[in-house]
Amino acid sequence: MPAVRAEAETTIRPLDHLVLRGDDEATALVLRDAVVTYKDLRTRVSRLAGWLRTMVDEDGARVASWVAKGELACLMPLAAARAGLVHVPINPLLKHAQVAHILADSGTRLLIATPARLATLEQGDVPAGSICMAEPEALEQAAGLARDLPASTADADDLVAILYTSGSTGRPKGVMLSHANLWLGAESVASYLGLERDDRTLAVLPLSFDYGQNQLLSSWHAGACVVPLDYLTPRDVIKAVERHGITTLAAVPPLWVQLSELEWPAQAAAGLRRLTNSGGALTPDLVRRLRRLFPQARLFAMYGLTEAFRSTFLDPQLIDSHPTSMGKAIPHAEILVVNDAGQIAADDEEGELVHCGPLVAQGYWRDSARTAERFKPAPAASRYGGTAVWSGDRVKRDADGLLYFVGRRDAMIKSAGNRISPQEIEEAALATGLVAEAVALGVPDERLGQAVHLVVRAVPGAADAESELPRKLMQELPNFMQPKEIHWRSVMPIGPNGKIDRTGLQAELVA
């Protein structure tokens, strides 16, 4: 689908041009073993792009990375863009079954992964003809290659990345993003956060997510510095904030809860200029705790979805008086509330959040059916027109234009900032051969937002099913998908439509 153009005064560049924005000697990236200036970043991106093109000499071919948050993870979005390839970042927490699906669905030609992750892949997980390369070897070959690629001349509408996200049903689907989507997303966030060249962003979120990847892109758009961190405990985050003089910290609610419960060195807390939240709503109590702990920092509450990157943010000046609001549209986004009659909702009338404008993605990779469900013509009232994302989320808009979340139309489980497909968990449980029926549900949880609960009926005669099922799920599903509780039933409740009564089970678990 053609992209919707941004405002006339906006200049959209190919994504790899972000490395051209910082001062030569300014620090762009702080790695465990190196401090990378913008001048050095340009060289590394150019060399990696040249190596990628040597390995896969085909415009638009997909190249995947399944690595920890180091040099390769940070460089790949720009290097693939410069090489004319499409980057497919894979969440490092995923296990072989999910990775096999992503590789096959995307048609990946080259997979770069840590040696330990490569060792977990089984026969048939990697598509025939694809190349697998260990991360250290890839970086070594790229550094020694004399082939530097010049800045890209790609069209703004060219596909540059596929980010896989779980839906409420089925396996993860690939959201197709153009140079314009990512460039304008970076510009938008850098603008409303007020990022400056002397800012230092601690990137604690996974770079395989749009929110996580934008930590890199928005900081580099501003000519600022990024410090990637794979943390083991919340205290690691505090130590990194203090050690690196961090000014910008993004997190999801469960991490904010943990960080707000710890003692912070006065200097580390005082150095933070802005805090950003997405992946779930902040509670009024958590807002109060963060404001007491970081009174000098601006707190940005945000809402987004991968299909349109980011939709809204709340002006930090309103966070104390309106802590539950989603705010208003970010730059380059138009947010409409459409009621059940298909009209723009009145103030305080519930409706569906519809995102219009140039941040709207290009649909789902090779999935026209699901694309048609979510990506539909914009409402007639839209100033952009074209294709819009109909989110399925129910919201209200007050008389001041502030939006408030009401609920989700689908059955998505949102736990610790992760969007989890119930069907994927259910399929994994059924595949063990231990259960005949399975229903995965999200139950409200103070720390996680929602916790995964699994309701199952054992296969008659299945020996040791109650002890074996958790063990087998641990082998097949990533940690964030593991059920907090498994509920065993001798009979599943059946609704009027003849299907398992999910609504009844949900009500039972919540009661």
* pLDDT single digits (tens) 304-346: 989 999 999 999 999 999 999 999 999 999 999 999 999 999 9
- pLDDT tens digits, 171-209: 789 999 999 999 999 999 999 999 999 999 999 999 999
Q: At what angle do helices 135-143 and 71-82 cross, to 10 degrees?
A: 60
Residues 373-402 have a mean pLDDT of 96
Residues 468-491 have a mean pLDDT of 95
Nearest Cα to Cα of residue 145 among 39, 48, 38, 34 = 48
CB of 297 closer than 8 Å to CB of 383 = no
Nearest Cα to Cα of residue 107 among 51, 49, 63 = 63
Residue 449 host element (H or E)? strand 449-458
Residue type for position 287: V
**CA angle, 94 then 100 then 102, to 5°:** 80
> For strand 325-329 and strand 312-313, is the pairing parallel, antiparallel, or unpaired?
antiparallel
Residues 382-400 have a mean pLDDT of 95
Give the pLDDT confidence score for residue 501 in this predicted structure. Answer: 87
Domain ranges, ordered by start, for the chain: 415-510
Q: What is the pTM of this model?
A: 0.87
In whole angstroms, give the CA distance from residue 115 to residue 126: 15
**CATH number of the domain located at residue range(s) 415-510 in this protein:** 3.30.300.30
- pLDDT tens digits, 91-111: 998 899 999 999 999 999 999
- pLDDT tens digits, 224-255: 999 999 999 999 999 999 999 999 999 988 88
Residue 240 host element (H or E)? helix 234-244
Classify the C-alpha dihedral 411-363-102-18 as positive or negative: negative
**How far is CA 199 from each of CA 191, 194, 218, 388, rounded to the nearest angstrom?**
13, 10, 11, 34
Give the pLDDT confidence score for residue 421 in this predicted structure. Answer: 81
What confidence tier does 6 reach under pLDDT thresholds 50, 70, 90?
low
